[in-house]
Structure formats: structure tokens, C-alpha cells
Homo-oligomer: A and B are copies of this chain.
Amino acid sequence: MSRALPPLRLLTAFAAVARTGSIQAAAAELNVTQPAISQAVRQLEDHAGVALLDRARRPARPTDAGQALATAIAQGLGQIAEALDALREADLQRDSRVTVACSVGVATYWLMPRLAAFYKAHPDLFVNVVTTPNGVPALGDGIDIAVRYGHGRWSDGLVRHLFDEEVRPVCAPALRARFAGPVPPGSVSLLHVRTPETSWVTWDEYLRLTGLPPVRRGGQTFTNYVQTTQAALDGHGLMLGWRSITGALTAAGQLVDAGLPPLAPRDAFYLVARTKRGGRAVETFADWLVTRSDPA
């Protein structure tokens, strides 16, 4: 049955003697006087019950027993010190990283293009973007911030308004050119997005809310706005363009307004941040995104 360990000070004093080669050198390294180390090692020997130093030789050298113990001390305490360093390092890392969850469309056309400016302003921080294939982007293990479209009344985090949206039909220029006036929804292929998120406006809702006649189901259906946007760019039909997704493409002339009325939904985009365990990076990024947010 082992007795309690001796005081750490005795262990480190002896390890220093073994490492530096003499009691005097160890004292110098530890910034104490030589008697302090001499007494410390003697106390350790009393505790251990065996001689750890051969003092007949000058400078004193560890006995075989002492060498064995010095090795165990170095390894044992080294292991603990490494674990502490690793924890601090991980904490520093965590404090310089933030993970954001959002839909793949928002990620591709809104968030990622903005990150360059964020890194320019904060080169020491790193944003990890996680796209949720479907459903509402959620907070949780490893997710610090979620960018959500919806009513904004969530309770799982701190909610901050990013921007209101506007939805208008857009299409490829070539498709637009086929009609003198607005592109009639009933005469072209409509590009649908079907997602479990029920907040996003669908073609049916758009037509109903703008007083346009309903269109019998046709066209193509995708599961995300990246594919839908690509199909529109390819001239495959008419899509509902959300300003945060297609605003830049429309400004660049790659997509054009279809001449139909725009729709301003009541829902908006929000940033939701976890209230616990938020490090410096999370707060910095959230603040930046809120102040720099505009839909296009």
C-alpha cells in the first residue's frame, strides 16, 4: 500500500538535481539557495526511505534508485504538464474558431463570399461553415452560430436580425428575351425548391400572394438553391430569386429580372448564437456579421 506522495516541491527539486548534475546547479535553476535544495532532497530521501544521491562523490550523483525515480518523476510530471498545455492550447484554439450552420444556398451565395472580408479584418480567427442539407440550421455540439430564415422567435439562442428579404422571379437573359413583356409563369418551366423548411416562399405561395393565376405543377424540382440557381443560369426555367442568393448574380447580369412583381416576405434572416461557451471568436464574428449584413 503506497503512502501519500511527497510534496511536489521535493520531487521537482530532486528532478532538477538529476537533470542539472549538482545540487548547486539545481538551486541556480530554481532560484533558491543551495541549502534549500540540499534539504529538499534529504526530505525526499526520508520520505522514500532510500538514498537517492551518492554524496561521497562531488558533485553528488543520483544512485541507481535515484535515477529510476528521477526518470519516473520527469515522465509523470511531464505527462501532467503536457495535458495542461494541451487543454490550454485547445482552449485557445476554441477561442479562435467559430462554427456556423446555414443552408447550402446561403452558404454558397451569401456567407462564403463575405468571409474574405472577415478574414481580412480578423486574420487570427477562423470560421468553419457547416451546411445543413435540410431543415432549420440548429445550434448544438460544435455549432456556435446558425443563420436562419424564419420568424425569428426562437429560444435556443441569442437571436439577432440580419436582414429582410425580397423574392422576385429571375431567369437567364436568353429566356427573358423570348418575351416582349414579363415572362409568363404559365408559359415556361418553373424551377421549384422542395425543402422541409416551411418558411421559404414557394412558387404556389408567390403566385397566390401576388394575385397571379396559379400554374399547374410543371418544371423541375430541386432540394436546394445551389442546384436551382445553376438550372436558372443554364436557361432551364424561371426561379424565385431571393436577394441574398441571386442578388449578386442579377447585379452581374448573369440572371435577369423576369418582369414580375417582387414579394417582401414577413420572415427575415436572423443570426442565432449559442448563449453558453461562446468564446471570443463567436462574439467577434457575430458582431461583425450583424454590422456587415445586407442581403446582396
Within 65-101 of A, Cβ neighbours of B (below 8 Å) are at 65, 68-69, 71-73, 75-88, 90-91
A11 within 8 A of B: yes
Q: Is B87 within 8 A of A50, CB to CB?
A: yes
CA distance A91 to B47 in the complex (A): 13
Q: Which of A5, A82, A85 has the most CB of B within 10 A?
A: A5
Give min CB distance, A91 to chain B, whole Å: 5
Q: Is B80 within 8 A of A48, CB to CB?
A: no
In the complex, the chain B residue whose C-beta lies closest to that of A83 is B72
Q: Is A75 within 8 A of B69, CB to CB?
A: no
A121 within 8 A of B: no
Contact A72-B82, Cβ < 8 Å, known A49-B91, A87-B48, A88-B50: yes
Q: Is A77 within 8 A of B5, CB to CB?
A: yes
Q: How large is the interface on A (under 10, 10 to 19, 20 to 34, 35 or more residues)?
A: 20 to 34
Q: Is B50 within 8 A of A65, CB to CB?
A: no
Contact A68-B83, Cβ < 8 Å, known A8-B8, A77-B5: yes
Q: What residues of chain B lie closer than 8 Å to A47, measured between beta carbons? A: 84
A2 within 8 A of B: yes
Give min CB distance, A98 to chain B, whole Å: 18
Give min CB distance, A239 to chain B, whole Å: 45
Residues of A within 8 A of B (CB): 2, 5, 7-8, 11-12, 47-50, 65, 68-69, 71-73, 75-88, 90-91
Q: Give the top 3 A-B pairs by smallest Cβ distance, nearest first.
A: A72-B83, A76-B76, A8-B8
